[in-house]
Structure 1
Amino acid sequence: MTGAGLSAVTEQDLLALVAALDRGDVRAPMNETCLRANGFGHLVDALRPYLGLGREGIHAVVDVVLAERRHRKAPRLTLVWTGDDPGVSHSRHTRVVLPELFARAREHVLIAGYAIDHGAELFASLHRGMADHAVTADLFVDVGQLAERLRQAAKGAGQSWPLVSAPLEAAKGNVERGRAVVELFYRLMWPFGDPRPVVYFDPRTAEKQSPVSLHAKCVVIDHEYTLITSANFTDRGQTRNLEAGVAIEDRGFAASLERQWLNLVDAGVVVR
């Protein structure tokens, strides 16, 4: 995943760092080892340019960032809607907002979704950004649900699912099964070739009749623009169901949401 300096660090993390500096928990020499030993390993990349400033210098830099956060503009919120919309509306349609978000990306895209279909249409603008602007993308998926959608995609393309899914049936263990499903995703739902998104999954969702689902539906663009929605990344969710969501323009919120997913990666709850 790519970073965006201190702008991508949550306010909670900055306040925790200041408190640790004030208590004297984080002492010289200010380096990567010191940060990791005090529970701030996830801030190493963001703080690396400032480590040479020492304890007082880093404290001053973080104070400036926190002061800027307190005076920044309020988050911009937009209602995002799928389905019938009678009367005077103040919403924007999901099927319009999602490709617009993908198209505006110039750095990084994070996507988490439960159900996905029609990948060639859904991800076309994302792939263009990756190809034209070197945008990187991370995709978090539910293995069981994705496998079912891939079965439907293979059937729709006139392919034999027993033949296509042979690697899944031969897989031993949740991680191997999950990776087999991801390879089929690249084959059936990402027809563009390289560059491709990095896909993460919770191995528990690869179990048959798993009690765990990755049910979140959200997108973060360039560490600043966020969409959180009830709508799956499916034709029904994007065009026909009744679904509600919110588009949020705010770096602090985007950074907090990205950190939630990064925490899962760092802890090994989800695997690549």
Structure 2
Amino acid sequence: MSPRVAEPLRELGAFLTGTEAEGIAARLTAGATLSQALIVVPAARRQRARSLMTAAGLGPQAREHSAAVLEAVAGAASRTRKVTPVWTAPAGLLGSGTLTGDVFALVSGATTSVVCATFNLQATSVLWKALVRVGQRRPGVAVRLYVDTQAADGLFEGAGAVRHRRSRLSTADMARALPEAVVLRTRAPEEGERPVTSHAKLLSVDHRFLLVGSANFSHSAEERNIELGLRLDDPALAVGVERQMRDLEGTVYERVVA
């Protein structure tokens, strides 16, 4: 293989997520044009994907070869590369707030998507600052946020409720501040039903990196509490978690309209 083709192939393999590569391959196999196949890639990244594919000689003119290459990219992306424990604790006990740095770096560096589920999201949290930053600077990144309406909209009163109320973001606040994002909250229960609590804490970035753990996305959890999470580089798992959250939308969540 000539260097002229090998280099864009390497770049394409690093650039595409497994989900994108698989989607393009399937569409090319079905007879789609390159423009039709690239619809699975977010608009902000689409031109770069087209340029790399063209430079690598991939497209409708070589459907079988192109599909095989893209399926190999998807297969390579589906392998778990790394699992890292992520801690937070008061300063000086377990080192600096690794969770805080990981959250900000993951979200701020997103190129395609951010999916987040949390019980408690405060305006003082690093996650909120990173989400706002992405919304302002990277309009091509699709953001999907799942929150608990009891916590966000003040429908619960428990220990620390007064303290949380001062920095709490309502679901309407979130939707207004992130106009391009999809913000979903738990539905109000039917008469006689108990409300469902959305207590999962997860981040899935670029359909690849998954962060799960005990911490709420609040200043205290990110900086003072003893919290443990796992940061995984596992596209297959990340996509599976995202799919499960989507499946819950019809019965558990409703979209917030600013």
Instruction: Calculate the TM-score normalised by the size of structure 1.
Output: 0.58
* Change in CA separation of 1:85 and 1:258 when aligned onto 2, cut-off 3 Å: same
Establish whether residue 100 from structure 1 lines up as the match of residue 89 from structure 2. no
Q: Is the 8 A contact 1:112 1:216 kept in 2?
A: yes
Q: Which 10-residue stretch deviates more, 144-153 or 106-115?
A: 144-153
Q: Is the 8 A contact 1:116 1:149 kept in 2?
A: no
* Change in CA separation of 1:77 and 1:143 when aligned onto 2, cut-off 3 Å: same
C-alpha separation in 2, matches of 1:244 and 1:80:
6
Q: Is the 8 A contact 1:224 1:254 kept in 2?
A: yes
C-alpha separation in 2, matches of 1:74 and 1:256:
13
* Change in CA separation of 1:103 and 1:205 when aligned onto 2, cut-off 3 Å: farther
Q: Which 10-residue stretch deviates more, 196-205 or 223-232?
A: 196-205
Establish whether residue 217 from structure 1 lines up as the match of residue 201 from structure 2. yes
Instruction: Give runs of aligned pairs for residues 196-235 of structure 1, distance below 5 A.
Output: 196-204=180-188, 210-235=194-219
Q: Is the 8 A contact 1:142 1:205 kept in 2?
A: no
Percent identical residues? 24
| Code of the aligned partner of 1:8 | T
1:145 matched residue in structure 2 = 151
Query: What's the Cα RMSD here?
Result: 4.1
Match of 1:8, SS state, is: helix
- Which stretches in structure 1 are left out of the alignment for 5+ residues? 15-42, 158-180, 188-192
Q: Is the 8 A contact 2:215 2:228 kept in 1?
A: yes
1:212 Cα shift?
Answer: 2.1
C-alpha separation in 1, matches of 2:202 and 2:78:
24
2:115 matched residue in structure 1 = 110
1:156 matched residue in structure 2 = 166
2:171 matched residue in structure 1 = 182
Q: Is the 8 A contact 1:117 1:153 kept in 2?
A: no
Instruction: Calculate the TM-score normalised by the size of structure 2.
Output: 0.61
The runs of at least 4 aligned residues of structure 1 exceeding 6 Å deviation read: 85-89, 205-209
1:66 Cα shift?
Answer: 7.3
* Change in CA separation of 1:73 and 1:269 when aligned onto 2, cut-off 3 Å: closer
* Change in CA separation of 1:87 and 1:252 when aligned onto 2, cut-off 3 Å: same
| Code of the aligned partner of 2:218 | T
2:89 matched residue in structure 1 = 83
1:51 Cα shift?
Answer: 2.6
C-alpha separation in 2, matches of 1:137 and 1:71:
21
Q: Which 10-residue stretch deviates more, 73-82 or 136-145?
A: 73-82
C-alpha separation in 1, matches of 2:77 and 2:19:
17
C-alpha separation in 1, matches of 2:191 and 2:124:
24
* Change in CA separation of 1:149 and 1:226 when aligned onto 2, cut-off 3 Å: farther
Deviation digits for residues 231-269 of structure 1 (CA, Å, limit 9, x no counterpart):
00112211111111011112112111111112223x444
